[in-house]
Structure 1
Amino acid sequence: MNSKIYSALFILILFGGWLIFGDGFGIERTDQKAISPCQEPLTYQLADIDSRFDITQKQLAKIMDEVEQLWESAINKDLINLSPDGEVALNLVYSEEQKQTDAERQFSDRITAKEQQVSTVEREYKRLSKRYEESEEDVRQTLDKYNSKISAYNQLAKEWDGREATSKVIAKFKTLEQEISALEVSLKQKKQKLSSLREQTNAKTERLNNLIKEHNSLIAEYNSRFSKPRKFDQGRFVKHGDNQAINIYQFGNRAQLKTVLAHEVGHALGLDHVDNPKSIMHNMMAEQNMANLQLTNEDISALKKQCDM
């Protein structure tokens, strides 16, 4: 074959934004400890949920229920409840950061789809390549048989040159001629098949190389658009007088949303940031085990201190 795969798949470099929870509070914090959440449960309501987030109120309520259980099980007290007129408004605010996150996810999906295309065509190429090699070997073996028969015929003709051949020799000549004729037909057919496979394989190679170029181009564009670190708030608890709200600005998946909600609920309960990077109340989303979110000792200690336990 004339063509070869000459492009290499690049490694997709996903950007790592600096995801911070925010400082946790808005302008005022003066009466944060006026009523302890351990004395009277904090109530919240599902308020403004931007429709551009791919989540329903029912799904959001379920995640918040998990967040409630996370905090309440730590001290075995009722701390926060959903209520139609709850004092804390829970808002999902579609921010520029979320717009960027969605664009990054969609672009990443395009790269994944292209990778799948590459894998599919690569498998097809390998199958065609194998068939081509087998066909090439078949032509080679048939050609060897053909040349062997021609050699045998010429050798017999040389031996009986100028002599009157016997009926047995004549029959041998006819047999060799028939075999040579059959091999000529077979060889022609096999060469045609080989030529067709060569064209198919080269076309598939070209298709594969083009897909790899497209894949590499997508990765280059992805890295250009999304690889630069960004620092932004994912959520914030704000309190202005009697008005309280948990605003969520950005999340990539359900686990991230739960982590951000758990953090901001902690602020709503009156907790500050803690130093342990694995803690829910740490100011950065980095080392928390979001797949199995749990309070750390620092989180629990902060909550017990807030509840005077």
Structure 2
Amino acid sequence: MKFSLFIFLLTSFAYCSYEKVTIGNIDPYYEHKITKEQLKDIILEIKKSFKEQLNKDIFDYSTNGKPINLVYIPTSKIENLITRNQEQLQRKENLAKRLSEQLASSQKRINSLKDEFKDKKAQMDKKIEIYNSYVNEQNKKKKLSKEEYQTIKEEIDKRKKVLNEHLKVYKNDKKELRKEINFYNANVIKYNRIVLDYNRLSRDIERLNRTNKKVRGQTFGEKKTIKKISFKDGKTREIETNTTVSMNKIEIYGFESLNELKAVLAHEIAHLVGIPHVDSKGSLMNPVLQKNQIDNLYLTKEDIAAFEKYF
């Protein structure tokens, strides 16, 4: 039986890794607010600040690094995008539900066909065994007359014809089972694609909602778990599970000053390497942008504790 792959995506996770960043796309909206050279200088200032306070590099600037994009989306456009994405999300959810029900029904039918096919195969093997045994017995006979030989030949041909008819039915049953399995695997692939689309839309809606609430930046990443499944003896069995984590990019949605941009970007770079939020007031990794971080970027003891714990 063929293997089927089930893919599930999750967006909340804890991990840490050294990363490289680069300057990605800068929306024309910001062309009079900041240059690429200024943005690069800010990135290098953050790198230096982190190294001085943590005594190690946690990220670096590189032309092949993860992109930092400055994105501008007008509020009205955001609201329209959220509405459209929510409608698509609902359609994907309904389709995934229907496919899930079809998969469950198909699996029951496959298991039923496999049980039937197992019995039919045993019967077919028995019929072939009887035919071969009969032929072998006739081959042992010696000194047959022409009439006896002709009679035996006609009987063998008759039995072979009947056996071929049974084989034809058997092969059709086997073809039907294979057809059901192929149909099931095609629906699994379709279901996985819908799950991927659903998770992508969910992340987009979350990002847009945050943008609409004046969130200044966001880091994008995903945790992908691939489970390899096999069907054996009418049962589903998990063969292997492989989990990978990858961070993709940083998006900055707005800033009132270059110092504010530095604080927002430092916060998102920390997320990029795997540092979660901390609840301490005044900390860089507080989920709410702190005024003291805009005035003077630094890591509090709570920030440093988070780096020591996760990095």
Q: Which interval holds the TM-score relative to the shorter structure?
A: 0.3 to 0.5
Which structure has the greater CA radius of gyration? 1
Greater percentage in helix: 2
RCO comparison, higher one (Cα < 8 Å, 6+):
1
Greater percentage in strand: 2
